[in-house]
């Protein structure tokens, strides 16, 4: 395609970009039909994309070409139509890669700006092919750029235009794969370390409703993607489970610091509402964990593949310890802030650890857990989890896979795309448990069955969680 540059130079910026997209589509179709494996766009074509679509100057002596706001909008409409009309997914994916794969040069900023506008428009007008391509882009791109794209969508639909949240909410039905990747990106972006990194209430409501309606939504990337040693370093996690667990546990201590919603509403009524939403999210995340044993067993991965990484848990307990220390230093806080909310956070941590261990999502020893939780204050439920017997997995003699999205690991066979999944069946209400007495470290729980008749050590041995009501 290098020979078409001279024909593009005399054209105006919009006409040249439209012509290049037309030739790029033909070029990639021929590339796919040639049977070359893997099909790869050559460097000269990428240079044309940078010069005539991203408007990065070819050299210092060439003035940069610029589009007006109207021309840029017209280009976005042309690109939407181009992807919508192309029926071959392979061609669409290659074209999206040619346009938006980061090259480590000065054109990358233009790439990100155009990508954010294109995906935002695709959300607004329901262009599913673009959302599917963006889902793949999010899966293979450095997380720093993934959270930038997520930030654009949150700003556009949760902050800038009032009443536009329902439009973003529709991506759940339009493209579940993109929706899953979007959740992973926003839970990476908003880590509750500051007011700016606290999820807006509208975003929280939307994510809670998505997962309540479809608990398996957060597993779609894992279920439909072959896990192999080619997972890019510093990419997003394969599921948003780690980020969602972090939200639920840190929320009682961190979210109340966020005054943005209170200022917007003229009151602090958003805080109780946020508390209820995080409680509902916590229950939904636990239900997702309880889906995993059957899924992992079907794939032969139970006890071998950790979807909740130990490094993530260690970072979470460190953050939680810091938040608890800060809460202790604020003597002017209310009794709820100094006792109830810290215990709520610790209760949720204990529940998440127990269900993650029992479901095979977290692979570690109780000794390892006790080590990373050693700086946390006492909590009855957490003490029970940490003092429980060693977990046993069905395939205990099979060495675990060293899978991590941030490290090399053994290849796993490709997973076929799963059919549409049914909604999670309703769980009966479980009995509440009384406050548990403290167990001394040298006394095993199994030696006192009479003191806790509703608890049994058998669930620990079989990999099933003990009965409890998720903390609200």
User: Rounded distance, CA 321 to CA 249, Å?
Assistant: 12
User: Rounded distance, CA 78 to CA 405, Å?
Assistant: 35
Domain ranges of the chain: 1-57+69-141, 147-225, 247-257+271-329+345-388
- Reported as type and span, the H/E element at residue 185 is helix 176-189
Phi-psi region of 398 (alpha: psi -120 to 50; beta: other; left: phi over 0): beta
Q: How far is CA 255 from CA 93, 198, 321, 339, 450, in A?
A: 39, 7, 16, 16, 40
Q: How far is CA 287 from CA 60, 145, 192, 231, in A?
A: 57, 30, 23, 27
User: Rounded distance, CA 363 to CA 307, Å?
Assistant: 9
pLDDT-based confidence at 5, cuts 50/70/90?
confident
The alpha carbon of 351 is separated from its chain's Cα centroid by a whole number of angstroms, namely 21
pLDDT score at 177: 97
pLDDT-based confidence at 335, cuts 50/70/90?
low
CB 360 within 8 A of CB 293: yes
pLDDT one-digit tens code per residue, 162-181? 889 999 999 999 999 999 99
Q: Which two tokens stand for residue 321?
A: 């310890």
CB 296 within 8 A of CB 241: no
pLDDT one-digit tens code per residue, 42-51? 999 999 999 9
pTM to 2 decimal places: 0.80
pLDDT one-digit tens code per residue, 212-228? 999 999 999 999 987 65
pLDDT one-digit tens code per residue, 301-325? 898 889 999 999 999 999 999 999 8
pLDDT at 93 over 80: yes
Q: Which two tokens stand for residue 106?
A: 């000065």
pLDDT one-digit tens code per residue, 274-297? 999 999 999 999 999 999 999 999
Q: What is the mean pLDDT of the chain?
A: 81
User: Rounded distance, CA 393 to CA 397, Å?
Assistant: 9
Buried b (16+ CB within 10 A) or exposed e, 413-452: eeeeeeeeeeebeeeeeeeebeeeeebeeeeebeeeeeeb
- Please name which of 237, 196, 262, 231 lies closest in space to residue 409, comparing C-alpha atoms: 231
Q: Which two tokens stand for residue 381?
A: 């439920």
pLDDT at 193 over 70: yes
- Please name which of 333, 213, 338, 233 lies closest in space to residue 281, comparing C-alpha atoms: 213
CB atoms within 10 A of CB 264: 11
- Residue 454 burial (C-beta neighbours within 10 Å; 0-12, 13-18, 19+): exposed
CB 387 within 8 A of CB 381: no
């Amino acid at each position: 395609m290098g020979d078409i540059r001279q024909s593009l130079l005399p054209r105006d910026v919009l006409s040249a970009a439209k012509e290049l997209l037309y030739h790029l589509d033909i070029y990639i179709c021929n590339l796919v039909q040639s049977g070359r494996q893997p099909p790869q766009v050559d460097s000269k074509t990428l240079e044309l994309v940078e010069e005539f679509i991203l408007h990065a100057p070819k050299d210092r002596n060439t003035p940069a070409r610029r589009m007006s706001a109207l021309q840029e909008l017209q280009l976005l409409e042309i690109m939407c139509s181009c992807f919508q009309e192309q029926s071959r997914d392979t061609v669409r994916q290659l074209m999206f890669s040619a346009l938006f794969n980061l090259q480590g040069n000065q054109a990358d900023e233009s790439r990100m700006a155009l990508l954010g506008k294109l995906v935002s428009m695709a959300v607004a007008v329901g262009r599913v092919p673009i959302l599917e391509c963006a889902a793949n882009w999010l899966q293979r791109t450095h997380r720093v750029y993934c959270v930038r794209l997520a930030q654009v969508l949150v700003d556009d639909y949760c902050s800038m235009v009032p009443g536009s949240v329902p439009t973003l909410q529709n991506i759940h039905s339009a493209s579940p794969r993109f929706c899953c990747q979007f959740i992973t990106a926003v839970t990476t972006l908003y880590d509750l370390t500051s007011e700016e990194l606290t999820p807006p209430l509208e975003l929280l409501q939307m994510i809670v409703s998505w997962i309540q309606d479809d608990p398996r939504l957060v597993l779609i990337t894992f279920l439909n993607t072959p896990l192999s040693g080619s997972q890019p370093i510093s990419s997003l996690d394969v599921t948003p489970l780690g980020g969602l667990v972090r939200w639920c546990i840190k929320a009682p201590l961190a979210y109340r610091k966020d005054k943005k919603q209170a200022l917007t509403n003229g009151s602090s009524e958003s805080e109780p509402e946020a508390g209820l939403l995080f409680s509902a999210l916590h229950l939904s995340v636990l239900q997702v964990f309880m889906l995993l044993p059957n899924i992992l067993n079907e794939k032969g991965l139970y006890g071998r593949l950790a979807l909740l990484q130990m490094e993530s848990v260690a970072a979470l307990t460190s953050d939680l310890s810091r938040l608890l220390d800060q809460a202790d230093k604020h003597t002017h806080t209310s009794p709820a802030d100094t006792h109830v909310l810290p215990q709520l956070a610790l209760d949720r941590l204990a529940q998440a650890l127990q269900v993650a261990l029992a479901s095979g999502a977290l692979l570690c020893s109780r000794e390892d857990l006790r080590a990373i939780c050693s700086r946390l204050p006492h909590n009855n439920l957490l003490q029970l989890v940490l003092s429980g017997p060693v977990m046993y997995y069905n395939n205990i003699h099979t060495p675990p896979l060293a899978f991590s999205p941030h490290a090399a690991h053994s290849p796993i066979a490709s997973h076929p795309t799963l059919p549409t999944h049914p909604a999670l069946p309703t769980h009966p209400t479980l009995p509440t448990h009384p406050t548990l007495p403290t167990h001394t470290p040298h006394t095993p729980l199994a030696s006192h069955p009479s003191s806790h008749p509703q608890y049994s050590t058998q669930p620990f041995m079989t990999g099933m969680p003990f009965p409890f009501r998720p903390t609200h």
